[in-house]
């Protein structure tokens, strides 16, 4: 693993955006769910509420569900196509999107708002992937599905964004980990990938968030407390469901553990100060830069984990989420 840099030299002020604070009071005041089924149900409910508050301007022209061949059987995807305008016609990027949820919760419905935002603001065709979830399907099921979906999108670009247009992987949280690991896999296979968008990603699951020595290396695991949404114990629960101890340091789960990151696709990495995953996301940006990869990274000081889906709740979250499209176009060297 690459070591720390000055990006995490001191503890930031942990002051949450007031609208996010109100959201957390609305959605997390009830008893903490104790089963996977209960956690999944809360995720569906909260994401549906967030989607209902999202602006109509982010609606795509179409959303089509289909199934493709996956390594474990039929793999569900949703293809979102942006509205055509005279200024934006012809070929568009294809973005393969992997939802968050600790590899255990979430699906293409819970993260529909995330996919819609990318579709509209990047002006891209988005392939949102319903990969297999743990504990029913532990590692490497999600990674294998992510690789397969990206290969499918690459093979079908002519009917998606268009031949020769950029191919991008993107994801939030555990989905960000999948995107990062797919980028490494495509580098290793000599396959084209033009960019990766990683939103508050998991990058180091070694120790499965329960190893004190590893946790000590990441400031946000020590300083971000309950009351900001995702907790360290929550990450430990997710990781334990997904991957065994022996495999947790594999780069297919922990991309920061990859010995050489040179030659992977340019990256946009956004993190939030009030997120237990902040430090590992920041360190991954540092590791990529040290290996010569072009990176745009930002940390949003008053936001928490999962802010990307809360644009209808918080103006600060909305602005931060919109920044992702601008930064992605920058690494693609696209004028907007």
Active site members? 173, 275, 305
Separation of alpha carbons 45 and 314, rounded Å = 18
Residue 271: CB atoms within 10 Å: 27
- How far CA 263 is from CA of 96, 195, 260, 332, in Å, comes to 20, 11, 9, 15
Instruction: Return the structure tokens found at 113.
Output: 């708002």
Q: Which of 111, 102, 53, 55 is nearest to 80 (CA)?
A: 111
CB atoms within 10 A of CB 144: 18
Token pair 């120790």 is at which residue?
207
Q: How far, in Å, CA of 16 to CA of 180, rounded?
A: 28
What value does the CA radius of gyration of the chain take, rounded to a whole number of Å?
18
How far is residue 63 from each of residues 34, 115, 169, 271, measured CA to CA in Å? 34, 10, 19, 28
CB 118 within 8 A of CB 98: no
């Amino acid at each position: 693993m690459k070591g720390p840099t000055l990006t995490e030299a001191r503890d930031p002020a942990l002051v949450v955006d007031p609208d996010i604070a109100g959201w957390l009071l609305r959605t997390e005041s009830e008893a903490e769910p104790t089963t996977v089924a209960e956690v999944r149900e809360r995720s569906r409910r909260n994401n549906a509420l967030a989607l209902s508050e999202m602006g109509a301007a982010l609606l795509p022209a179409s959303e089509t569900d289909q199934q493709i061949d996956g390594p474990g059987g039929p793999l569900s995807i949703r293809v979102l196509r942006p509205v055509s305008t005279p200024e934006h016609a012809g070929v568009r990027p294809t973005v393969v999107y992997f939802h968050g949820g600790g590899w255990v919760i979430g699906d293409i419905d819970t993260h529909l708002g995330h996919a819609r935002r990318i579709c509209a603001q990047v002006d891209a065709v988005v392939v949102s992937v319903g990969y297999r979830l743990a504990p029913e399907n532990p590692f490497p099921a999600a990674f294998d599905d992510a690789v397969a979906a990206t290969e499918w999108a690459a093979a079908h670009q002519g009917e998606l964004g268009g031949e020769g247009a950029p191919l991008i992987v993107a994801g939030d949280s555990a989905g960000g980990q999948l995107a990062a690991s797919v980028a490494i896999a495509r580098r290793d296979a000599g396959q084209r990938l033009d960019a990766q968008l990683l939103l508050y990603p998991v990058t180091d699951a070694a120790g499965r968030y329960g190893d004190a020595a590893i946790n000590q290396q990441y400031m946000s695991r020590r300083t971000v407390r309950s009351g900001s949404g995702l907790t360290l114990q929550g990450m430990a629960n997710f990781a334990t469901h997904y991957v065994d101890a022996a495999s947790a340091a594999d780069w297919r789960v922990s991309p920061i553990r990859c010995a050489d990151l040179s030659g992977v696709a340019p990256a946009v990495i956004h993190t939030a100060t009030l997120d237990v995953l902040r430090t590992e996301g920041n360190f991954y940006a540092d590791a990529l830069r040290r290996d010569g990869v072009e990176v745009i990274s930002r940390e949003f000081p008053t936001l928490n984990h999962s802010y990307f889906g809360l644009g209808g709740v918080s103006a600060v979250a909305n602005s931060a989420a919109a920044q992702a499209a601008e930064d992605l176009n920058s690494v693609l060297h696209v004028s907007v």
